[in-house]
Amino acid sequence: MPAPIIELRDVSKHFGEGDTRVDALRSVSLSVAPGEVIALLGPSGSGKTTLLNVIGCILEPSSGWVRLDDEVIYDGKMLRRDLRRLRLEKIGFIFQFHNLLPFLDATDNVAVAMELAGKSDRDARRAAGELLDYLEVGRRGAAFPAKLSGGEAQRVAIARALANKPRIILADEPTAALDSKRAGIVMDLLRKLAAEQQTAIVVVTHDEKIFDRFDRIHHLRDGQIDPAASSST
Amino acid sequence: MNLAYRDVRHNLGRFLLTCLGLGLLLGVVLAMIGIYRGLVVEALTLVQGMKADVWVVEANTQGPFAEASRIPGGAREAVARLPGVAAAGSLTFQTVEGDSSGQKVRLMTIGYEPDRPGGPANLIAGRAIGRSHYELVADVGSGLRLDDRVRLGRNLFQVVGLTKNQVASGGDPAAWITLLDSQRLQFDLAPPAARVQIARGMGAADRDIVNAVIARLDPGAAADEVATAARRWKHLSAMTSAEQETILTRSVVDRARRQIGMFTTILLVVSAVIIALIIYTMTMEKLKQIATLKLIGAPDRKIVAMIVQQSLALGMIGFCAGAALIMIIKDAFPRRVVLELDNLLTLGAIVFAVCLVASALGVRAALKVDPATALGG
Ligand SMILES: Nc1ncnc2c1ncn2[C@@H]1O[C@H](COP(=O)(O)OP(=O)(O)O)[C@@H](O)[C@H]1O
Ligand SMILES: [Mg+2]
């Protein structure tokens, strides 16, 4: 087993203090190896998004430590700027709704992430085009998000998540807005990526149709991973 | 790629409409500034056009514009003899409603002595008065044209010349006639009123009354010394033309000026608030996109640039639209709208500053937005 890309040890996160205190995560430990695709399951309010935000360099936990690709983050020395760079270079995000920028066409929505990482305008557009081809939406490159179907938009969003060859992909309900056929296609795509590029993929989902596509499924309950209910497939 | 530009290009129609709306608003602001400036400029044109150095008027008055002033016509001779005076001329000022082929024309008539100071300035057509009676030089603002005939009082005058931009402080176009005609007009009362005056013992003898005497000085002569000398006559008062201009702006048009000034200020404040609101809401609408950009790793500078560039583009395009609009229609106003480069630049700078401040508000909100909000539904 190779060294995990994502490693969380005793991570807790609470919001508020006193009467209004909410313990969103309680002592969560988790590791994900390269090429692994895991699912986070759990009822609403159980802490799934909070966990994703902690892994995604967006939300600093109250305690515990997090290591991503051999870097310990939230160690007090990391600045907001460093976290931003990590997000840019190592993490790809996929949302429930595609969150594409409405004023850029599909190609530029992918290219913009590449430009942020330092690629030139022209290189970024070319690479974005190739990525869209790879995701089989290349012919929709000039279309604006409003003109894309749900499945196409989600694939463009995945292309954007992949723009800078991330080591980690975090997806919050990526298939919730898709029918089961398209959901299957998107999941197969993610599995293919994980296998080909040794990416670690964490997917938050309720979608029972796709459970068989995961290496592991973790159940969250009241901010804790329920070991009894978690399973490997 | 420039995100501000791409966003504008994608929503071009809406952006241009917003610019147009802002342009109309700024056009109104510019119109008000122009009206304000026009008021001051118009208040001074007659005085400046006369190129007088010293104004001699009735003692204890600030005539002839701010207060009524009546002095004997002989005063001109006396003033002309003062050391330093090159030329002096008597003037009367009287607002009359004339009649030109059935149309009422309201004129500020100025009686002057041809060949002496005080004649029409800025003549654009025809000639100055050549005969001692019944000729008139009118400002084009009156609507009169060359060779028109105008009835003033009991006499018919012929328009022999036209001036431009010569108006009284109230906006009435000026019209020059000879001093003799103007004195007739002033003192030729309707027969019943004349009978009353004669019964009181005020005959036609004191008809040689004028409202002011203006003097032009020899080069090198000091206006305030000549004014001091003229004041030694107990029945006269005198002021330099600088003092006359101060009276005109500070007292004659003061209330109108302050009224318009006040309104202009309010309009400026309202525009500033509206610009700020437009830019702020423009940014608020983008918060979700901004959160997404942040999440995928866009640096703050990229986001700030997007907001600031768009606000400045909006402000500047709106401003240019407003300025163009007002330049096109300003001559259609019944009174003068005076807009000079410095007014335009000042307003431009204000708009620029307002846009910056407004985008600062938007930037603050944008920088505060949590990238996590892009993740949640
Ligand atoms: N920013 C926040 N401030 C306060 N409470 C929060 C915040 N984010 C999440 N929570 C709370 O933490 C708990 C877990 O939330 P979340 O991670 O969004 O759950 P899930 O995604 O599983 O529905 C919930 O009770 C939620 O109300
Ligand atoms: Mg959630």
Q: Using CA atoms, how far apart are residues B254 and B256, in angstroms rounded to an integer?
A: 6
The answer to whether residue B203 scores a pLDDT higher than 60 is no
* Nearest C-alpha neighbor of B240 from the set B218, B217, B219: B217
Q: What is the pLDDT of residues A1-14, one digit of tens each?
A: 678 999 999 999 99
Residue B189's pLDDT is what? 56
The answer to whether residue A138 scores a pLDDT higher than 60 is yes
Residue B191's pLDDT is what? 62
| pLDDT averaged over every residue in chain B | 87
Amino acid residing at B113: E
Q: Using CA atoms, how far apart are residues A39 and A56, in angstroms rounded to an integer?
A: 15
Q: How confident is the model at residue B229 (pLDDT cuts 50, 70, 90)?
A: confident
Chain A, 137 to 196: residues with Cβ < 8 Å from chain B are: 144, 160, 172-173
Q: Using CA atoms, how far apart are residues A85 and A207, in angstroms rounded to an integer?
A: 32
Q: How confident is the model at residue A86 (pLDDT cuts 50, 70, 90)?
A: confident
Q: Which residues contact B16 (CB under 8 A, 6 or more apart)?
A: B317
CA of B111 to the centre of ligand 1 (A): 88
What is each CA distance from B329 to A109, B22, B139, B337, B342, in whole angstroms?
45, 17, 21, 10, 19
Map B253-306 to HEC letters.
Answer: CHHHHHHHHHHHHHHHHHHHHHHHHHHHHHHHCCHHHHHHHHHCCCCHHHHHHH
Q: Are B122 and B166 in contact (CB under 8 A)?
A: yes
Q: Using CA atoms, how far apart are residues A197 and A209, in angstroms rounded to an integer?
A: 25
Q: In this complex, how many residue pairs, one in chain A and one in chain B, have their CB atoms less than 8 Å apart?
A: 73
Q: Which CATH superfamily is domain A6-99+167-232 in?
A: P-loop containing nucleotide triphosphate hydrolases (3.40.50.300)
The answer to whether residue A96 scores a pLDDT higher than 80 is no
**Strand A168-172 to strand A200-204: parallel, antiparallel, or no bridges (unpaired)?**
parallel
The answer to whether residue B158 scores a pLDDT higher than 50 is yes
CA of B96 to the centre of ligand 1 (A): 82
| pLDDT averaged over every residue in chain A | 88
Q: Are B257 and B39 in contact (CB under 8 A)?
A: yes
> B7 CA to chain A: closest CA distance, Å?
5
The answer to whether residue B202 scores a pLDDT higher than 70 is no
Question: Which two three-digit tokens encode residue B81?
Answer: 């003899």
> B317 CA to chain A: closest CA distance, Å?
21
What mean pLDDT comes out for the span B66-89?
A: 88
Q: How confident is the model at residue B209 (pLDDT cuts 50, 70, 90)?
A: confident
Query: Which residues in chain B have their CB less than 8 angstroms from residue A40's CB?
Result: none
CA-nearest residue, atom 3 of ligand 1:
A15
Give the residue from B289, B296, B368 with the most A CB atoms within 10 Å of its CB, the best one to mutate. B296
Amino acid residing at B235: H
Q: Which helix (H) or strand (E) holds B160?
A: strand B155-163
For ligand 1, whether the C-beta of A53 sits within 6 Å is no
Residue B335's pLDDT is what? 86
Handedness of CA B359, B360, B361, B362 (dihedral sign): positive
The answer to whether residue B240 scores a pLDDT higher than 70 is yes
Question: Which two three-digit tokens encode residue A201?
Answer: 């993929």
Place of tokens 């699912």: A39
* Nearest C-alpha neighbor of B76 from the set B136, B120, B118, B48: B118
CA of A90 to the centre of ligand 2 (A): 22
Q: How confident is the model at residue B377 (pLDDT cuts 50, 70, 90)?
A: very low
